[in-house]
Homo-oligomer: A and B are copies of this chain.
Amino acid sequence: MAERNQRITFARSPRGLPVPEDFGADETSIPSPADGQFLSRTIYLSLDPYYRNVMKNSQIYADRLHPGDVMVGETVAQIVESKHPQFAAGEYVAVRNGWQQYGLSSGQGVRKLDPASAPLGAALGVLGMPGLTGYAGTVYLGRPLPGQTFVVSACTGPVGTTAGQVARHMGARVVGIAGSAAKCEYAVKELGFAACVNYKDGDLTAALKQACPDGIDVYFDNVGGDTLTAVTRNLALGARIVLCGMIEAYSMDTPPPGPWLGPIVGARATMSGLVVYDHMNRMPEMVKLISGWIRDGQFRYREDVSEGLAKAPEAFCALMRGGNFGKALVRVGAE
């Protein structure tokens, strides 16, 4: 192979929102698999908000980055050479290659993908970790009952798309929160939500009161901050809040305070923290259920694909500003 391996590297911890200069780029030779390893070429790179936390060396995550390290990340790839007995050249896999064209793997945590059963990119979105997050958080923590009001923020992203549509399939009345009129229109027309509130349109507390006249029974929180505060002012008695993401805080050096907790007591509400890794055993049931819904046209999702690895830093920075519309992917190589 005369080709080289293009990589995007970690340059420095961002100050506030990330900028492209927080990343570097280099190239290496394409590595060869040792016994028990396989080499795969990256097709799609997943962009996820939690990378921002990894870049701050948060202790929540196992990854630790040093300047010059290749950026970590989930990918869909095709195996090009294998010295692993359970993987063969030509197979498609979900594997953590990171932000590079080629990666080695021991096979640990790798899922094989069937390109005939679902589009490959979905394995990084609604049929991957974000989908599992939305699914497990809704089914096992949020537990909406039929007719209850279920609110989800960042509702056109892969986690929110999944949480909201799963709640809809459970009989809940789903209200989304998103950051543009186009996203809100998509949530109602395509995802089947009862309503969607644009948080950039002024008084979110009042808008939620109008969209949720009986109060909010379940809130799936992907963003924290002021949005969470507005929700706490509209809770129904016995409400459940699933704390999943705090995208605002990922770009802050000092963690921000949380909402005033008085309304939590008044509503006898429960807030629970969700970490998707605790629910890995639910991955097969989630993939089976949601891929079935996708084939039947009962579950929709949207991808926002950037072309070429070099675009990854810019696309990631846009994601952290809420500039994406749908699951943020980078096409690194041809399918």
Shortest distance between the CB of A220 and any CB in chain B (Å): 13
Counted per complex, copies of this chain come to 2
CB under 8 Å from chain B, chain A span 242-269:
243-244, 246, 249, 255-262, 264-269
For A271, what are the chain B residues with a Cβ–Cβ distance below 8 Å? 261, 264, 270-272
For A261, what are the chain B residues with a Cβ–Cβ distance below 8 Å? 224, 243, 246, 258, 271, 273
- Residue of A249, A269, A273, A274 with most partner-chain B CB within 10 A: A273
A294 at the interface (CB under 8 A from B): no
A275 at the interface (CB under 8 A from B): yes
Name the residue on B nearest A221 (C-beta).
Answer: B261
A interface, by DSSP: helix, strand, loop or mixed? loop
A60 at the interface (CB under 8 A from B): yes
A203 at the interface (CB under 8 A from B): no
For A278, what are the chain B residues with a Cβ–Cβ distance below 8 Å? 268
Q: In whole angstroms, how far apart are the Cα atoms of A278 and B238 in the complex?
A: 11
Q: In whole angstroms, how far apart are the Cα atoms of A267 and B265 in the complex?
A: 21
For A259, what are the chain B residues with a Cβ–Cβ distance below 8 Å? 257-258
Tell whether, in the assembled complex, residue B270 and residue A260 are in contact, meaning their CB atoms are under 8 Å apart. Answer: no
Tell whether, in the assembled complex, residue B270 and residue A275 are in contact, meaning their CB atoms are under 8 Å apart. Answer: no
Tell whether, in the assembled complex, residue A268 and residue B258 are in contact, meaning their CB atoms are under 8 Å apart. Answer: no
CB under 8 Å from chain B, chain A span 187-211:
none
Shortest distance between the CB of A273 and any CB in chain B (Å): 4
For A268, what are the chain B residues with a Cβ–Cβ distance below 8 Å? 272-275, 278
Tell whether, in the assembled complex, residue A274 and residue B265 are in contact, meaning their CB atoms are under 8 Å apart. Answer: yes
Tell whether, in the assembled complex, residue A256 and residue B260 are in contact, meaning their CB atoms are under 8 Å apart. Answer: yes
Shortest distance between the CB of A280 and any CB in chain B (Å): 14
User: 19 additional contacts, CB 8 Å, given A243-B264, A258-B260?
Assistant: A224-B261, A244-B265, A246-B261, A246-B265, A249-B260, A255-B260, A255-B262, A257-B258, A257-B259, A261-B271, A265-B273, A265-B274, A266-B275, A268-B273, A268-B278, A269-B273, A270-B270, A270-B271, A271-B272
